[in-house]
Amino acid sequence: MTYELSKEEEEELYTKIMESEKRRKERRRGLSTARKAGAVPPPHTPHRFFLPNTTAHAILATLSKKGPTTRQELKEELKASEAGINTQILHLLDCELVDRDRHGVYSITDNGEVALAELDAGTSHTRWLR
Protein backbone atom coordinates (compact mmCIF):
# COMPACT_ATOMS: atom_id res chain seq x y z
CA MET A 1 0.00 0.00 0.00
CA THR A 2 1.39 3.34 -0.99
CA TYR A 3 0.32 6.69 0.26
CA GLU A 4 0.78 9.77 -1.82
CA LEU A 5 1.13 13.12 -0.17
CA SER A 6 -0.64 16.14 -1.46
CA LYS A 7 1.51 19.04 -2.55
CA GLU A 8 0.67 20.91 0.68
CA GLU A 9 1.51 17.90 2.89
CA GLU A 10 4.74 17.39 1.04
CA GLU A 11 5.76 21.04 1.50
CA GLU A 12 4.80 20.92 5.19
CA LEU A 13 6.84 17.77 5.77
CA TYR A 14 9.83 19.23 3.93
CA THR A 15 9.61 22.42 6.01
CA LYS A 16 9.55 20.43 9.27
CA ILE A 17 12.56 18.39 8.21
CA MET A 18 14.54 21.49 7.21
CA GLU A 19 13.68 23.30 10.47
CA SER A 20 14.75 20.27 12.49
CA GLU A 21 18.06 20.10 10.62
CA LYS A 22 18.60 23.84 11.13
CA ARG A 23 18.02 23.50 14.93
CA ARG A 24 20.43 20.56 15.07
CA LYS A 25 23.15 22.55 13.29
CA GLU A 26 22.59 25.54 15.62
CA ARG A 27 22.96 23.30 18.70
CA ARG A 28 26.19 21.82 17.34
CA ARG A 29 27.56 25.27 16.47
CA GLY A 30 26.69 26.53 19.97
CA LEU A 31 28.37 23.54 21.61
CA SER A 32 31.46 23.99 19.47
CA THR A 33 31.69 27.67 20.42
CA ALA A 34 31.24 26.83 24.11
CA ARG A 35 33.98 24.19 23.93
CA LYS A 36 36.38 26.67 22.33
CA ALA A 37 35.64 29.12 25.15
CA GLY A 38 36.30 26.37 27.70
CA ALA A 39 32.74 26.44 29.03
CA VAL A 40 31.97 22.84 28.09
CA PRO A 41 34.34 19.88 28.49
CA PRO A 42 35.40 18.00 25.37
CA PRO A 43 33.12 15.12 24.41
CA HIS A 44 35.52 12.43 25.64
CA THR A 45 35.84 13.92 29.15
CA PRO A 46 33.93 11.91 31.75
CA HIS A 47 32.74 15.16 33.35
CA ARG A 48 29.80 13.58 35.23
CA PHE A 49 31.96 10.71 36.32
CA PHE A 50 33.43 12.30 39.45
CA LEU A 51 30.37 13.78 41.05
CA PRO A 52 29.69 12.51 44.57
CA ASN A 53 27.00 9.84 44.93
CA THR A 54 27.47 8.41 41.45
CA THR A 55 28.16 4.83 40.46
CA ALA A 56 31.90 5.57 40.28
CA HIS A 57 31.86 6.97 43.80
CA ALA A 58 29.94 3.90 44.99
CA ILE A 59 32.43 1.57 43.27
CA LEU A 60 35.36 3.30 44.97
CA ALA A 61 33.61 3.17 48.34
CA THR A 62 32.75 -0.52 47.94
CA LEU A 63 36.28 -1.46 46.91
CA SER A 64 37.69 0.51 49.83
CA LYS A 65 35.32 -1.13 52.31
CA LYS A 66 35.22 -4.73 50.99
CA GLY A 67 38.62 -5.03 49.35
CA PRO A 68 39.25 -6.78 46.00
CA THR A 69 35.98 -7.54 44.21
CA THR A 70 34.76 -8.81 40.82
CA ARG A 71 32.44 -6.90 38.49
CA GLN A 72 29.62 -9.31 39.25
CA GLU A 73 29.99 -8.76 42.99
CA LEU A 74 30.01 -4.98 42.45
CA LYS A 75 26.87 -5.25 40.31
CA GLU A 76 25.07 -7.25 43.01
CA GLU A 77 26.31 -5.06 45.86
CA LEU A 78 25.40 -1.75 44.19
CA LYS A 79 22.26 -3.03 42.44
CA ALA A 80 23.42 -1.25 39.29
CA SER A 81 23.21 -2.28 35.66
CA GLU A 82 26.06 -4.21 34.12
CA ALA A 83 26.55 -1.49 31.51
CA GLY A 84 26.75 1.18 34.21
CA ILE A 85 29.31 -0.79 36.21
CA ASN A 86 31.39 -1.58 33.11
CA THR A 87 31.45 2.04 31.94
CA GLN A 88 32.49 3.39 35.31
CA ILE A 89 35.09 0.67 35.88
CA LEU A 90 36.70 1.60 32.54
CA HIS A 91 36.83 5.28 33.59
CA LEU A 92 38.31 4.33 36.95
CA LEU A 93 40.92 2.12 35.27
CA ASP A 94 41.83 4.92 32.82
CA CYS A 95 42.34 7.34 35.71
CA GLU A 96 44.37 4.71 37.60
CA LEU A 97 42.03 4.84 40.60
CA VAL A 98 41.27 1.13 40.33
CA ASP A 99 43.52 -1.80 39.47
CA ARG A 100 42.56 -5.11 37.81
CA ASP A 101 44.44 -8.35 38.15
CA ARG A 102 44.55 -11.06 35.50
CA HIS A 103 41.63 -12.90 37.12
CA GLY A 104 39.27 -9.92 36.72
CA VAL A 105 39.39 -8.87 40.36
CA TYR A 106 39.35 -5.11 40.96
CA SER A 107 40.97 -3.28 43.84
CA ILE A 108 41.28 0.39 44.74
CA THR A 109 44.68 2.05 44.28
CA ASP A 110 46.31 4.60 46.57
CA ASN A 111 45.19 7.35 44.18
CA GLY A 112 41.70 5.86 44.36
CA GLU A 113 41.73 6.15 48.16
CA VAL A 114 42.76 9.81 47.88
CA ALA A 115 40.05 10.49 45.28
CA LEU A 116 37.47 8.75 47.47
CA ALA A 117 38.48 10.88 50.46
CA GLU A 118 38.10 13.99 48.30
CA LEU A 119 34.68 12.84 47.09
CA ASP A 120 33.55 12.09 50.65
CA ALA A 121 34.78 15.50 51.82
CA GLY A 122 33.19 17.26 48.85
CA THR A 123 36.46 18.91 47.84
CA SER A 124 37.74 19.37 44.31
CA HIS A 125 38.48 16.17 42.49
CA THR A 126 38.79 17.31 38.87
CA ARG A 127 42.55 16.80 38.96
CA TRP A 128 41.85 13.08 38.46
CA LEU A 129 40.43 13.80 35.04
CA ARG A 130 42.84 13.44 32.15
Instruction: List C-alpha distances in Å: 55 to 11, 30, 60.
Output: 48, 30, 9
Instruction: List C-alpha distances in Å: 27 to 30, 31, 127.
Output: 5, 6, 29
Instruction: For 37-78, write each residue's pLDDT tens digit.
Output: 655 444 544 444 455 557 888 899 999 999 999 999 999 998
- Per-residue model confidence (pLDDT) at position 122: 67
Which sequence spans correspond to the domains of the chain? Answer: 7-41, 55-128
Angle formed at CA 79 by CA 75 and CA 80, multiple of 5 degrees: 65
Instruction: For 101-114, write each residue's pLDDT tens digit.
Output: 999 999 999 988 88
CATH of domain 55-128: 1.10.10.10
pTM of the predicted structure, to 2 decimals:
0.58
pLDDT band at 21 (very low <50, low <70, confident <90, very high): confident
- Per-residue model confidence (pLDDT) at position 31: 60
Residue 123 has pLDDT above 70, yes or no: no
- Per-residue model confidence (pLDDT) at position 125: 53
